[in-house]
Amino acid sequence: MSGVENQAHKVEQLTTFYVGHELFGIEVMKVQEVTGNPHVVPVPLAPEFVRGLVNLRGQIATAVGLSELFAQKKNENKKEEMSVVCKSEGNLISLVVDSIGDVVEVDRHKFEKTPDTVPQTLRRFVKGVYKMDGVLLSVLDIETIFKELSPISEASGRN
C-alpha cells in the first residue's frame, strides 16, 4: 500500500484556465464548480478587482476579476468569460477568467518556484509553476486571494 501512496503523492490534479494568454491552475479539490459568466451585482466602493456578488443557487460568492487582480489587460469580450468557483473555510469566491482549460495531472517533482521575471503584482498570488510542452502553468495560491478580500489584510497592508 505504501507504494500506491507514494505514487499518489507524485501527481497533482489542477483545473486550468486562461487569463489573457497566460495559463493558470488551481488544485482540483479547491474548485467547487466551473460555470458560465454569472450575473454579477456590483458592490459600491469595492476594490477594482471585486466585480461584485454572485448568487450561486442561494449561496453568495464574491466575484473577483483575475485580470484586474493581476493588473493585466481586461478581456474585451466579457460574454466568453467563465467563472471558477472555489471554497475556503465556508466562504465562496468566483474567479472570473477569460476561458477554461482542461483538468491536468502534473508530476510534483517538476514543480518550480515562481520565476523572478513574473511581475510582483502576479507573483504574490502564485505558488509556483510547471513547464508543460513549452507552456508555463502558474499554480495560484487561492488562500492568498481569499486573504486579499479580507478586511483584516487590507487594514494591515496600510500600516
Task: Summarize pLDDT for 126-159 with one digit per residue, the tens.
Answer: 999 999 888 899 999 999 999 888 764 344 344 4
- CATH number among 2.60.40.10, 3.40.50.1820, 3.50.50.60, 2.40.50.180, domain 2-152: 2.40.50.180
Distance CA 43, CA 62 (A): 10
Q: pLDDT confidence of 2, banded at 50, 70, 90?
A: very low
Residue 86 CB burial class (10 angstroms; 0-12, 13-18, ≥19): buried
Domain coordinates of the chain in residue numbers?
A: 2-152
Sequence-distant (6+) residues with CB within 8 A of 76 are none
Distance CA 122, CA 144 (A): 11
Q: What are the grid coordinates assigned to 81, written together?
A: 468569460
Q: pLDDT confidence of 1, banded at 50, 70, 90?
A: very low
pLDDT tens track for 80-121: 889 999 988 888 999 999 999 999 999 999 999 998 888 888
Place of cell 481586461: 74
